[in-house]
């Protein structure tokens, strides 16, 4: 079953508005190409890029923050198997679980850092909160 669509945020609305303005500027440039219309297209495109970046940042904060919270809850739930009255495990089991979890965490962080270096992700000092 599909999730119900949420109300558009201000950032979503800004992107839609910027796309419309860019299209209008392109249409005007097609009809009568002048320096003024070319400049208008350039400015509209730059504005759209800024709006998209802001929307992507907003989505990262919402989605990334929620996923980090879920991962933390999952780890707390995993820690519940530490009860020796309910579970039997060895030091080797603990090391195996640690290696698997550390490997996934390292992959996740590496992907994010590589994306920042390659410039495929927004570069910012802001951090999402819990």
Tens digit of each residue's pLDDT (9 = 90 or more) over 75-115: 999 999 999 899 999 999 999 999 999 999 999 999 999 99
Residue 78's alpha-carbon distances to 63, 97, 103, in angstroms, are: 22, 10, 16
> What pLDDT is stored for residue 22 in this prediction?
95
Do 42 and 80 fall within a single domain?
yes
Residue 121 pLDDT class (50, 70, 90 cuts): low
Model confidence at 129: pLDDT above 80: no
Do 75 and 113 fall within a single domain?
no
Q: What is the pLDDT of residues 53-85, one digit of tens each?
A: 999 999 999 999 999 999 999 999 999 999 989
Do 21 and 39 fall within a single domain?
yes
How many domains, the chain?
2
**SS3 state at 17:** helix
Residue 45 lies in a domain: yes
Do 62 and 97 fall within a single domain?
no
Domain of 69, in residue numbers = 10-84
Question: Does the pTM exceed 0.75?
Answer: no
Do 75 and 33 fall within a single domain?
yes
115 Cβ contact list (under 8 Å, min separation 6): 121
Residue 30 lies in a domain: yes
44 Cβ contact list (under 8 Å, min separation 6): 18, 21, 22, 24, 25, 26
> What pLDDT is stored for residue 120 in this prediction?
61
Do 75 and 98 fall within a single domain?
no
Model confidence at 128: pLDDT above 50: no
Do 35 and 96 fall within a single domain?
no
Do 15 and 76 fall within a single domain?
yes
Do 61 and 43 fall within a single domain?
yes
């Amino acid at each position: 079953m599909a999730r119900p669509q949420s109300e558009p945020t201000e950032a979503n609305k800004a992107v839609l508005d910027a796309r419309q303005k860019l299209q209008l500027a392109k249409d005007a440039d097609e009809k009568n190409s002048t320096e003024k219309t070319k400049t208008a297209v350039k400015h509209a495109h730059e504005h759209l890029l800024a709006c998209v970046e802001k929307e992507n940042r907003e989505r990262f904060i919402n989605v990334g923050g929620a996923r980090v919270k879920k991962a933390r809850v999952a780890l707390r739930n995993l820690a519940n198997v530490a009860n020796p009255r309910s579970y039997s495990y060895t030091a080797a089991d603990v090391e195996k679980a640690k290696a698997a979890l550390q490997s996934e965490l390292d992959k996740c962080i590496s992907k994010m850092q590589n994306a920042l270096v390659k410039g495929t992700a927004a570069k910012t000092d802001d951090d999402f909160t819990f």
